[in-house]
Amino acid sequence: MLAEIITIGDELLIGQVIDTNSAFIAKQLNKIGVSVYQITSVQDDREHILKALKDAETHVDVVILTGGLGPTKDDITKKTLAEYFNDNLVRNEGVLKNIETIWATHVRGNLLQVNKDQALVPSKSKVLMNVLGTAPGMWMEKGDKVFISLPGVPHEMQALVEEEVIPKIKGKYNCPFILHKTLLVYGLGESALAERIEAWEDALPSFIRLAYLPSLGKMRLRLSAKGFDEINLRALVDAEIAKVIPLIKDEFFGLEDEEGSVEVVIAKKLAKLGKTLAIAESCTGGKIAEQFTSHPGASIYFKGGVVTYSTQSKINILGIAKDLVEQHSVVSKEVVEAMAKNALGLFQSDFAVATTGNAGPSKGDSDAEIGTVYIAIATETEVYSQKFILGNQRVKVIDKAVNKALEMLLKEIFKN
């Protein structure tokens, strides 16, 4: 079972919007054993859409289109779909009613003709009702192939995928099971890791694929397997994982959650230990806190954080001594350790992590070189820190500092 995702919209092709829809759809399809053969982003252009449809039809079973269904003039997906299927657009009364309901509930002003026209769908399509918006999803079949058109607005698309598309695909096809397991590894480069596990990798059964996923100082190792016998597949993959863990034991920090990442591994461990966390951020500007709070259940272990961006706020809110700042500079081992220690006290947490640094492009309150970041960990019994030099590009300095902070925290918490 293969699928192609076609995203329609010039905003992706000029780089104004990052395509998060495709990753969402791919993840959902994978869970029911449908492999994504290709993701294709095309222009809002009749000929280009027709070409993409034709190309997809020759390679895959399921084609999912997103975007280009808005009421305005730049959206031509629906007309083009009707043309591709040699079909015409007809008004769907259910969709019109949905549009009228949304209008009455959420929108000020009159229902316009362009909105009423959103109730036009190809006559051969089944409507996937979009209760969150005015653009309907559409399901079309051609032989044993399925074409699904969805709105590009992420939350509308997501609801339709979860509630309509996935159940319908499962109903229509006998889907295999696809399993991914990801091992979180720190401290080993891609090639050093590959050398360590070479013999194991060479002996992997052919239905298990291995991938190395390096990312700014962390490394993930992903095993993917596919088959019709879920229980057997899980057992075989787990057996391979049990073999590889001893080979990377010193650098292995757990399996990533199917939906999760480093912070989820940390969160689960904290919850298990019944311990709590506080965060004091300067150069990372709230991003560490945001990583944790974006996942459910954060209130169990996350006491809170401060973003003490200005030196004055480090003094006033975290109670850093003014002398300490003057003596050592605001970007220093002494200040970051005081930040972590005081955050621990302020929030009455068991662990605290703190960052201070200069992400650039200008030097701000400190004379530290751009890219210099200090990160500290405080626990009930100790405080320690590390200095990092993380380049000179602001967003990367911040992202690397977040990753380094998560790594230090992970190592500290896994001592327990």
- CB closer to a copy of itself, 308 vs 385: 308
State how far the Cα of 167 lies from the Cα of 160, in Å rounded to an integer: 10
Residue 68 CA: distances (Å) to CA of 51, 62, 259: 16, 19, 28
User: 181, 410, 194, 166: which is closest to 288 by C-alpha?
Assistant: 410
**Site for a copy of itself, residues 223 to 242, rule: CB under 8 A:** 224
**Site for a copy of itself, residues 358 to 397, rule: CB under 8 A:** 360-362, 364-365, 391, 393-396
- Contact between 293 and a copy of itself by CB under 8 A: the answer reads yes
- Contact between 114 and a copy of itself by CB under 8 A: the answer reads yes
Report yes or no: 8 and 77 within 8 Å, Cβ to Cβ.
yes
Report yes or no: 376 and 383 within 8 Å, Cβ to Cβ.
yes
Q: Which two tokens stand for residue 193?
A: 């890791």
Quote the least distance from Cβ 35 to a copy of itself, whole Å: 7
Options 398, 401, 410, 413; binder of a copy of itself; rule CB under 8 A: 398
- Contact between 35 and a copy of itself by CB under 8 A: the answer reads yes
- Contact between 322 and a copy of itself by CB under 8 A: the answer reads no
- Contact between 64 and a copy of itself by CB under 8 A: the answer reads no
Helices 262-273 and 394-413, axial angle in degrees (round to 10): 30
Which range touches a copy of itself (CB under 8 A), out of 167-175, 186-194, 231-239, 319-327?
A: 186-194
**Site for a copy of itself, residues 71 to 110, rule: CB under 8 A:** 71-74, 107-109
Quote the least distance from Cβ 89 to a copy of itself, whole Å: 18
Which range touches a copy of itself (CB under 8 A), out of 231-239, 267-275, 319-327, 346-354?
A: 346-354
Which range touches a copy of itself (CB under 8 A), out of 15-23, 166-174, 334-342, 406-414?
A: 15-23
State how far the Cα of 332 lies from the Cα of 368, in Å rounded to an integer: 9
Report yes or no: 400 and 388 within 8 Å, Cβ to Cβ.
yes
Quote the least distance from Cβ 24 to a copy of itself, whole Å: 6
Phi, psi of 176 (to 5 degrees): -75, 175
What ranges in 333-393 are assigned the alpha helix state H?
333-347
- Contact between 213 and a copy of itself by CB under 8 A: the answer reads yes
- CB closer to a copy of itself, 215 vs 327: 215
Report yes or no: 183 and 237 within 8 Å, Cβ to Cβ.
no
Residues pairing with 122 in the sheet: 89
